[in-house]
Structure 1
Amino acid sequence: MHLKSLLAPVAAIALLWSATTHAADAAPTWKRGIENQRQADLGDGTFLNPVFAGDRPDPSVLKDGEDYYLTLSSFDAYPGLPIWHSRDLVNWQPLGHAITKNVGAIWAPDIVKHEGRYYIYFPARTAEARSNFVVWSDSINGPWSEPIDLGLGGYIDPGHAVGEDGKRYLFLSGGAYVQLADDGLSVVGTPKHVYDGWKYPESWDVEAYAQEGPKINFHNGWYYMTTAVGGTAGPPTGHMVITARSRSIHGPWQNSPHNPITRTQSKDEPWWSRGHATVVEGPDGRGWMMYHGYENG
């Protein structure tokens, strides 16, 4: 299936082409499944957002050859870290779960592949504590390892990256990053602050700055950091996606002149609090962005 066209960028999880964006003004009409769920695929090479309806926050997407794998926040539900598979970023099928041992409420994971092995990095919290963990598997279908506690209790939303030095890093909330051991299963040293973020105008109605969800891509000699700011639980115009780039994994990071990349600008829009994105190359070779939001009302 070719990703040819895009209606207004709406979504529980939406899909947005990262160059030009919007098309039709007409109200969208979804096909419906056997449980009346919305179906994104229109069957003619086009689709309607959202590509995931329902409660699907904080999507992380991995391109693995011709396959795409996605996981997302599972919060207090166990088994947790559901894994979904697609060949076109529009039609998704569940594969299973990556965790059964309860380590707390899970949110904002990052699914990656490094040297043939799959990893999911994620924060989790209980009433007593919070930390960051990793699970790994040599097959996307499992079995997955037991969760390994990485520490880093003062941070959330880990995002994996490999630097120009070949070393592995986790980017964290608040603009911090920390080196990983070569096997990706422990940290080396302590987190350092590397990115101050992009500051939106003071007049914008937001919840809090809340710099979180960093995802790193490498493209044409640049590292790109895609980040969420503005908070997720406040006004519908609060949440947004920003991006910055650097020649080095260690910075300095230059903010895009196009920030914010996407944002709900008015409470009159049909989809609110749009943010927390992963950028991924689509089957058409273009860059696409998957992010979350919730319906007006």
Structure 2
Amino acid sequence: MTKLAIACMLSLALTLPAAAQQEPRADSGLSMKTWTPDNGNGSYTNPLFYDELADPDLIRVNEWFYLTGATMHAMPGLPLLRSRDLVNWEFLGYAAGELDLGPSYRLERGRNIYGQGIWAPSLRHHNGVFYIFANVNGRGTWMYSAINPKGPWTHWKMKRSLQNLSVLFDDDGKAYAVWGLQQLRIAQLTNDLSDIVPDTERELFTKADGMGGNAHFYKVNGKYYIVSANDAGGTMPAARADHVYGPYEVNPAISKEEGFGMAGGYRLKNRQYPFEVVPPNPASRAMTAMHQGGIVPTEAGEWWGFSMMDYNSAGRLLSLSPVTWQDGWPYFGLPGNPGHSPRTWVKPRTAQAQQSAAPFVRSDDFSEPALKPVWQWNHAPVEDKWSLSERPGFLRLRSMQAASFWEARNSLTQRAIGPVSVPTAALDASGLLENDVAGLGLLNLPYATLAVEKKNGKLALVLFDQARNQSTRIGITATRVWLRAECDFRTEKARFSYSFDGERFQSIGQEFTMIYQPVTSQGVRYALFNYNTGKQNGGAADFASFEVYQPYPHGLTRPIPYGQTIQLASFRGSAGLAARGEALVNAAPTPFTILDLGLGRAALQSGNSYVTIAADGSAALQPAQSGVTQAFQWIETPTGELALMSLLTNRFLRIDPRTGAVRADAPGPLPDGSDGARFIWSKK
């Protein structure tokens, strides 16, 4: 039998042209590629966005899906996006404008709302109206409504503060809210949705019940479901009942994915200098699990799960999971492996196809009359201290007094994007005044900034590393300078550099460690800023452009080597996948040819035989007999290793580190490699 005939027999679906996996850098930042989860071959790879979208909520209205998430102290807030296929999204607008509710919202009097602001929105549609119920921490629960999701949106404050609520419009028209953190409560809402109906409030769960908070409330086939997040274990529990008030039965984990092989990253032990950084512990998997999400049906009758997942310093990113209903529970994952979601899988079936797209253009030459929607202000901006028109073709930030970058007003930010990104800002510093500090920052705690500073009438380039409380200073005479940060979110390391011509860059300072921390409750953000450490305000920092280069804008950093011969070495092992007659063993790796089965799937051929999986997960080399037994989903972990998921067992091929046995029975590749389910592949 020819290779072509075998590939045709094994193919499980129509093969689409494979998308290019790595793009060359363009001459202009405005044409640079950005992350898209659509692999161009009928499959997708999580995350849906490689930049933060925390506390997601997602609904379907007819043929469209709509999405929003928390925005904390960033303004404007509550982004609205829509999609036809749950994979490719377009940005519609923001529901919440600037929240100017006092000095802390404006970074005044030494106060701030870092990590506060807008949390955990509940997005709903009822009787032709879109609603977003959201907590404005310390200011109660606000409701936003619109007929058109593009806006305009109106809002008002509810009479009760219902922290982390989810709203359900029942079949009889009544509305209910579930809210709370470790202790969930329920009540019926009034017809105007501004309050709860008297005597309808009940306690549903205590902390001991294990339901957690950030609930999503649904009714499916006559049953009530509450999906929540358990912060203690990082899993996603669910509850169900026949009546809206219960009693509810609890399932402790409808999702328990350990993180696609990604370990928890660097963490802060304290929140002020001297900062103590705790290095990653690959054996700890609790906080990289998929959690805090919900479920949504398609018009075709499929169910899909959405949730956020901690991608360390990149923030909390949105993931999409196939849902398998088992024993009446909506498990995230596939049959045979409930609770564990594949990072790469087949796109949802929808009535209309949607082209691969990304919701935001990240680079900006500031030539348009408005900022691109990817930009958000750090706290409420001062409108007369920034401009796109004072000097056409430039973003002008005028300085205001601040002790540091952390307190600087009118810092313009956008979410950093992974897995690797390189932001570059072109700055004209000729308008700076004495004690002005302007440049490019990585907004985080600790943060890092590369800035031009004016002191005693002279300019200097200054890299400040807050973690070390250390400055690297270089005197300069040029007023035009390019500032760059090379950010690798796989290793959580960043390096800064500068240029005077935009082409030749010189490294400055030491490597900076990026950290996820609960103070901002956000991942790293790029920031453009200008502040004054003295008493003089009004100096002009003119930014000519901001470009974001991403070397890996697709779900694979390396293309699947279809038609090529490769070797598979064990990750953190001394050998690899080897063929010995009809047996697969742990030994010096032997060559395998990779056959294209479509949808990002592959078969592994050795001689005239193929890696074949039995129903019990055992693996051997056999001639082609049944397509599904020899088909694997080719999945790259967030840190770049290969994981091969058998389409028969929906579990991962592994070499048992203790026995050397080769099996496809791993639920998901573990971060520490102790299950033997991660490989390093190289061409033969």
Tell me which interval the TM-score lies in, with the shorter structure as reference length: 0.7 to 0.9
SS at match of 2:140: strand
* Number of the residue aligned with 2:122: 110
* Number of the residue aligned with 1:17: none
Deviation at 1:243, TM superposition (A): 0.9
* Number of the residue aligned with 1:156: 163
Deviation at 1:251, TM superposition (A): 0.9
Describe the shift of the 1:91–1:267 C-alpha distance in structure 2 as closer, same or farther (beyond 3 A): closer
- Residue type matched to 1:263 in 2? K
Q: Is the 8 A contact 2:160 2:195 kept in 1?
A: no
Q: What is the 5 A alignment of 1:68-87?
A: 68-87=65-84
The correspondence for 1:184, drawn from 184, 189, 193, is 193
Q: Is the 8 A contact 2:218 2:225 kept in 1?
A: yes
Describe the shift of the 1:116–1:266 C-alpha distance in structure 2 as closer, same or farther (beyond 3 A): closer
* Number of the residue aligned with 2:255: 262
SS at match of 2:120: coil
Q: Percent identity?
A: 25
Describe the shift of the 1:169–1:267 C-alpha distance in structure 2 as closer, same or farther (beyond 3 A): same
Deviations 1:43-96 (A, max 9, x none): 222111111211111110010000001000011112110000100000011000
Structure 1 unaligned regions, length at least 5 = 1-28, 201-208, 232-237
1:175 equivalent in alignment to 2:192: no
Deviates further, 186-195 or 90-99: 186-195
Deviation at 1:216, TM superposition (A): 1.4
Q: Is the 8 A contact 2:227 2:239 kept in 1?
A: yes
* Number of the residue aligned with 1:290: 306
Deviation at 1:199, TM superposition (A): 4.7
Cα distance in 2, alignment partners of residues 51 and 245 from structure 1? 28
The correspondence for 1:40, drawn from 25, 37, 55, is 37
* Number of the residue aligned with 2:205: 195
* Number of the residue aligned with 1:141: 150
- Residue type matched to 1:245 in 2? R
* Number of the residue aligned with 2:222: 221
SS at match of 1:251: coil
SS at match of 2:164: coil
Cα distance in 2, alignment partners of residues 175 and 39 from structure 1? 36
Deviations 1:108-164 (A, max 9, x none): 101101111110001111xxx34111011111121110x3111433x4211011346
* Number of the residue aligned with 1:212: 213
Deviation at 1:37, TM superposition (A): 3.3
Q: Is the 8 A contact 1:150 1:187 kept in 2?
A: no
Deviation at 1:168, TM superposition (A): 0.7
- Residue type matched to 1:171 in 2? V
* Number of the residue aligned with 1:6: none
SS at match of 1:182: coil
Q: Is the 8 A contact 2:258 2:290 kept in 1?
A: no
Describe the shift of the 1:197–1:78 C-alpha distance in structure 2 as closer, same or farther (beyond 3 A): same
The correspondence for 2:240, drawn from 245, 262, 266, is 245
Describe the shift of the 1:31–1:65 C-alpha distance in structure 2 as closer, same or farther (beyond 3 A): farther
* Number of the residue aligned with 2:659: none
Deviation at 1:279, TM superposition (A): 0.6
Describe the shift of the 1:266–1:51 C-alpha distance in structure 2 as closer, same or farther (beyond 3 A): closer
Deviations 1:168-218 (A, max 9, x none): 111101210122111323332374212347756xxxxxxxx8x21111121
Q: Is the 8 A contact 1:58 1:277 kept in 2?
A: yes
Describe the shift of the 1:198–1:240 C-alpha distance in structure 2 as closer, same or farther (beyond 3 A): farther
TM-score, length-normalised on structure 2?
A: 0.34
Q: Is the 8 A contact 1:240 1:260 kept in 2?
A: yes
Cα distance in 1, alignment partners of residues 196 and 242 from structure 2? 23
SS at match of 1:142: coil
Describe the shift of the 1:197–1:185 C-alpha distance in structure 2 as closer, same or farther (beyond 3 A): same
* Number of the residue aligned with 1:279: 295
* Number of the residue aligned with 2:47: 50
Report the aligned-residue RMSD.
2.6
The correspondence for 2:63, drawn from 48, 66, 90, is 66
Cα distance in 1, alignment partners of residues 247 and 303 from structure 2? 23
Deviations 1:232-263 (A, max 9, x none): xxxxxx3221111111111111123xx31113
Cα distance in 2, alignment partners of residues 245 and 31 from structure 1? 45
SS at match of 1:280: strand
Cα distance in 2, alignment partners of residues 281 and 180 from structure 1? 25
Cα distance in 2, alignment partners of residues 59 and 30 from structure 1? 28
Q: Is the 8 A contact 2:82 2:90 kept in 1?
A: yes
Describe the shift of the 1:266–1:100 C-alpha distance in structure 2 as closer, same or farther (beyond 3 A): closer
Describe the shift of the 1:285–1:267 C-alpha distance in structure 2 as closer, same or farther (beyond 3 A): closer
Cα distance in 1, alignment partners of residues 207 and 149 from structure 2? 33
Cα distance in 1, alignment partners of residues 179 and 55 from structure 2? 14
Deviation at 1:224, TM superposition (A): 1.0
Structure 2 unaligned regions, length at least 5 = 1-19, 26-30, 106-116, 265-287, 313-491, 493-684
Deviation at 1:267, TM superposition (A): 10
1:95 equivalent in alignment to 2:92: yes
Cα distance in 2, alignment partners of residues 56 and 189 from structure 1? 35
- Residue type matched to 2:216 in 1? K
Deviation at 1:273, TM superposition (A): 4.0
Q: Is the 8 A contact 1:163 1:248 kept in 2?
A: no
- Residue type matched to 2:86 in 1? L
Q: Is the 8 A contact 1:118 1:139 kept in 2?
A: yes
Describe the shift of the 1:94–1:198 C-alpha distance in structure 2 as closer, same or farther (beyond 3 A): farther
Describe the shift of the 1:51–1:67 C-alpha distance in structure 2 as closer, same or farther (beyond 3 A): same
